[in-house]
Chains A and B, each alone.
Chain A
Amino acid sequence: MKILSKNGNELLLLAMKEDSVAKGDYMLIEDRNRSMIVQVYDEEYLSSQALTEDIVREEVVNASSVENLHDPLNIGSLSRLVRDARIFRSKIRASINNGKLSSDVTWLPSRVESKIRRLTMKELDSFIGRRGVFPIPLGMTGDGGEFEIYAEDLDGKLTIITGKKESGKSHLSKILAKTLVQHGAFVVIFDLNNEYSGLGWNRDGTPSSIHRQVKILEPGKSLRFSLSYCGRGAISGMLKNALDMPAASLREFFRIWDWHENKKTLSIDAMANAVNTWNINELVRDALISRFHVIQSSRLFAEAGFQFEDVISTGSGGAAIVINMGEVSPTVRRMLVELVLSKVVDLLERKTIPPIFLFAEEAHLYIRDTYWEDIITRMRHFGIYTTFITNQPDAISDGIYRQVDNIFLFNFTNDGDLDKISRVSLADNDTIRSIVRTLPQRHCLAIGKAVCDLPVVVGVTAAEMLTLGETKKFFKK
């Protein structure tokens, strides 16, 4: 392999057919005591007008009559080598001066004397000093080496997992969630398709290593709250944001709330009774009654209910709280998310619970727009570290992408999606467009802090856990 040319931060490498390098692989260009780390992002044939003419001419000639060849010098085989020569387009990522990684890439390696070889993930890790205490094995890299990130890379960070349908996003998020729990972390999952229940089970039907730590909550059944546990703030947020209650009605509602709270009779029945009998404007009463119907039909409230601190407490060894939202209406979904997030923030503010990891699938379907900013800015400081999983990259605003620490990109073929992702992602446009477009299923491009800002292609390993949430099909094989 030889360096052919350089343009900006792009190096073109000339290679023969047998030089097997895959998109995403790292190469080390060694020139005396300095080395340059480049990443291959695209592969193409060495092409010239003359070569094209040769190929066309040979095809036309061979199509018109049978060829008999006498080639004593075997020039034909050399010619075939030239025709199969390829160009690897690569991006300069870093350089190594005297054994130390450096961002100084202002020098040019020699085209004549440089030696180019493939860099294994292990070597790359040793150069960039990527290490941690709590590993999360994700799968294999192109060189066949095992690849892991560290739980510390997700701690206090905002992560996005995105890719087209059935590319393996949920699969990766389940691996992350499970391993975080194994390391003793607390994970709250808004499960839109009731697929994370499988975290507690292995594929063969036996209980998984975190079986006892997985708490599956069904809204209206195992997930119900008492009004007093939720508190005024959470209920206010729910009424205002999920049920669009006007300010005047909200004021009346909390007058009733305060009256019952003072008398220590705060309950859903007492509130319902008061709404019907309280001396208030009839329009306000109608507004309160209609909201109360929704609240009652959601079955989210009871005299005694679920308490997060029962599951999330320091020293309890980690837990996954899976909130199944697959069978609830969009309104109840929004109410639920408002309640959960408000309550968790409240508990974190009071330091009642340790920081949590929040996994939100297709969050744009149940989190109101204004909440996004909160999640990525304010909540991070309270201790909610979010991972968004979506197949619609344009559902996430540019503001969020700018705050993102890690992105796991699965396959996208749609140009619109690729445009969006390449515009806002942490890696350069060429790398994203070329690599992501051709990623096979369950392969992702990891970008960001977890990989020290050096994009890595990872084949996500097959999960041991039970796969739920698969698409129901009429025609079964």
Chain B
Amino acid sequence: MATQLNLPFTSALSLGDLGIIDSVGKCLPATLEELKGKKIVFSCDDKKMVPVDGWSLRSNPHVGTTVTTIRAIKENALVAAVDSSSIKIAETEEGSLYGIKCGIAIAYAGLALMHFKIGPVLFYLCENTIQDSELEERLARLVLIDDDYAKRLIRVRAERAVQKELASHFTNSIILVDGSLKASVFEDRHRSIGKIAESCVLRKNMMIGISKGTRLKVLDRAATPLTKVPGPAYIEVDTIVKSLIRNTVGSNSMVKLEKSSPVLRADIVGDRSESLGMLLGNDPVAGGYPETLRLAHCISTFTGTEMTCLRSHVLNSYDVVELAADDIRSILLGSISV
């Protein structure tokens, strides 16, 4: 009887009667006994948390990887760091309006020299505009329906445009990029990461892509020996990265730029030791992260005031009509923030 549909409701109805508890318990093996005695780092709001002293060497399948120390090269060179951010500003029935900001911070001989703030610049993505983007049709449709893809498209295009110009105009310089040096489906073929790397090589520039965190857990484990090294050092992780990801450019390393600082993934176009040595010699590093990249990040992020101003600009300049709108989550879930 208990398995029949359209049961008359009784207060004695329980989850056990419905078989839900069993069903959930068996959907995957829990294997909590495996947790016993393990070293643990708790997660916090989807942030990347790493143990201060690294994971233990016992759990590392790459024990024996060579750790190379980095020595700062006191040879003056320009360091240009590039970062950007994009946001969705508004939506229409046909498309969406996005804003982008780029930041370029330049250091020379260990001192911050200047910074360039580009934007905010607006892009309205709709069927018509996306046709001109040379994107493959399915990807173009995806961009129109998914905001995250659209933001990524704008960011990749803008960043590559800046990086290409820097790579083509500078010589014997270091171009610092936030994130890995990986080809993206959103790239313009004339300004792809490959072309930028080519320009760098031709003009004797070095390009370093530094990622604050990597989704590849294995890289964190591989970098464990670096936590025991007292100064700046790196470990080559080309084989791991190339085996997991296609389309990366340059050599792949895990680097530590300062004593007791976090280990970062660095993709390098150019000689590994020379690039990292030149970077340490020309860019102030604080907290294990290059100052130019930090500054570029800082000047490329959108502030609350800029968001307000952008809305005001759109309302005043494009003859648009603002519709009353509601936050669907708060309507559905109530006033308690969830």
**Residues of A with Cβ closer than 8 Å to B?**
48, 50-51, 53-54, 57, 61, 64-73, 75, 78-79, 81-83
Q: 0/1 per residue, B313-326, Cβ < 8 Å to A?
A: 10000000000000
- Per a CB cutoff under 8 Å, which of A48, A64, A79 touches B306? A79
Chain B residues numbered 81-119 whose CB sits less than 8 Å from any CB in chain A: 105-106, 112-119
CB distance from B317 to the nearest CB of A (A): 8
Contacts of B106 in A (CB 8 A): 65
Whether, in the assembled complex, B4 has its beta carbon less than 8 Å from a beta carbon of chain A, the answer is no
Q: Are A67 and B114 in contact (CB under 8 A)?
A: yes
Cβ-defined contact, B305 with A61, below 8 A: no
Number of interface residues, chain B, beta carbon within 8 A: 25
A68 touching B112 in the complex, CB below 8 Å, given contacts A61-B298, A73-B313, A78-B313: no
Complex interface: chain A residues within 8 A of B305 (CB): 50-51, 54, 79, 82-83
- CB contacts between A and B, total, < 8 Å: 68
**In the bound complex, CA of A51 to CA of B113 (Å):** 27
Q: Is the CB of A65 within 8 A of B309?
A: no
Complex Cα spacing A68 to B312, Å: 24
Interface string of B284-314 (1 = CB under 8 A from A): 0000000000010011000111101110110
Tell me if B120 is interfacial: C-beta within 8 Å of chain A: yes
The chain B residue sitting closest to A65, CB to CB, is B112
- Report how far A69 CA is from B118 CA in the complex, Å: 6
Point out the residues of chain A lying under 8 angstroms from B114, CB to CB.
65-68
**Smallest Cβ-Cβ distance to B117: which chain A residue:** A69
Specify the chain A residue showing the minimal Cβ separation from B104. A68
**With the chains together, A18 CA to B299 CA distance in Å?**
29
Q: 7 more A-B contacts (CB under 8 A) besides A67-B117, A73-B120? A: A51-B305, A54-B303, A54-B304, A67-B114, A71-B117, A75-B309, A75-B313
CA gap between A232 and B312 in the complex, in Å: 83
User: CA of A64 to CA of B310 in the docked complex: distance in angstroms?
Assistant: 27
Give bound CA distance, A313 to B310, whole Å.
76
| Pairwise interchain contact B120-A78, C-beta atoms closer than 8 A | no
Measured CA separation A68–B113 after assembly (Å): 11
Give every chain B residue within 8 A of A79 (Cβ-Cβ). Answer: 303, 305-306, 309
Docked pose: A16 CA to B116 CA in angstroms = 29
Q: A78-B312, A82-B308 are in contact. Are A65 and B121 (CB under 8 A)?
A: no
In the assembled complex, the Cα of A349 lies from the Cα of B324 at a distance in Å of 76
- How far is A53 from B121 in the complex, measured between Cα atoms in Å? 22
Q: Which residue of A lies closest to B114 (CB)?
A: A66
Q: How far is the CA of A57 from the CA of B298 in the complex (A)?
A: 8
Top 3 nearest A-B pairs (CB, nearest first) are A50-B304, A78-B309, A65-B112
What are the residues of chain B within 8 A of A68 when measuring CB–CB?
Answer: 114-117
Q: What string of 1s and 0s marks CB contacts (under 8 Å) between B115-136 and chain A?
A: 1111111100000000000000
Residue of chain B at shortest CB distance from A63: B112
Determine the distance from Cα of A68 to Cα of B104 in the docked complex, in whole angstroms. Answer: 10
B120 touches A75 (CB 8 A): yes
Chain A residues within 8 Å of B113, by CB:
65-66
Smallest CB separation, A202 vs chain B (Å):
57
Write 20 A-B pairs (CB below 8 A) sorted by A numbering.
A48-B304, A51-B305, A54-B303, A54-B304, A57-B298, A61-B299, A65-B105, A65-B112, A65-B295, A66-B115, A67-B114, A69-B116, A70-B117, A71-B119, A75-B120, A75-B306, A78-B313, A79-B305, A79-B306, A82-B309
Q: Which residues of B contact A61 (CB under 8 A)?
A: 115, 295, 298-299
Q: Which residue of the partner chain B has the closest CB to A62? A: B115
> Which residue on A lies nearest to B107, using beta carbons?
A65
Contact between A53 and B303, CB atoms less than 8 A apart = yes
Residue in A48, A51, A54, A70 whose CB lies within 8 Å of B118: A70
Q: With A78-B313, A82-B308 in contact, do A64 and B118 touch (Cβ < 8 Å)? A: no
| Interface core residue of B105, B309, B312 (most chain A CB under 10 Å) | B309
CB-defined contacts of A50 to chain B, threshold 8 Å: 303-305
Are A67 and B115 within 8 A (Cβ)? yes
CB distance from B212 to the nearest CB of A (A): 19
Q: Which residues of B contact A64 (CB under 8 A)?
A: 112, 295
- Are B119 and A70 in contact (CB-based, < 8 A)? yes
- The residues of B that contact A82 with a CB separation of less than 8 Å are 305, 308-309
User: How long is the Cα–Cα vector from A39 to B309 in the complex, in angstroms?
Assistant: 30
Are B122 and A73 in contact (CB-based, < 8 A)? yes
Interchain CB contact (< 8 A) of A70 among B116, B303, B309? B116
| Residue contact A75 to B303, C-beta cutoff 8 Å | no
- The smallest beta-carbon distance between A122 and chain B, in angstroms, is 36
Rounded to whole Å, the gap between the CB of B227 and the closest CB of chain A is 30
Cα A53 to Cα B105 in complex, Å, equals 20
The smallest beta-carbon distance between B324 and chain A, in angstroms, is 13
Tell me if B303 and A73 are in contact (CB < 8 A): no
Whether A72 and B303, one on each chain, are in contact in the complex, defined by CB atoms closer than 8 angstroms, is no
Bound: A65/B106 CA distance, A: 9
B121 near A73 with CB under 8 A, answer yes
Tell me the minimal C-beta distance from B296 to chain A in angstroms: 10
Please give, as numbers and ranges, the residues of chain A lying within 8 Å of B118 by CB-CB distance.
70
- B284 nearest in chain A by CB position: A64
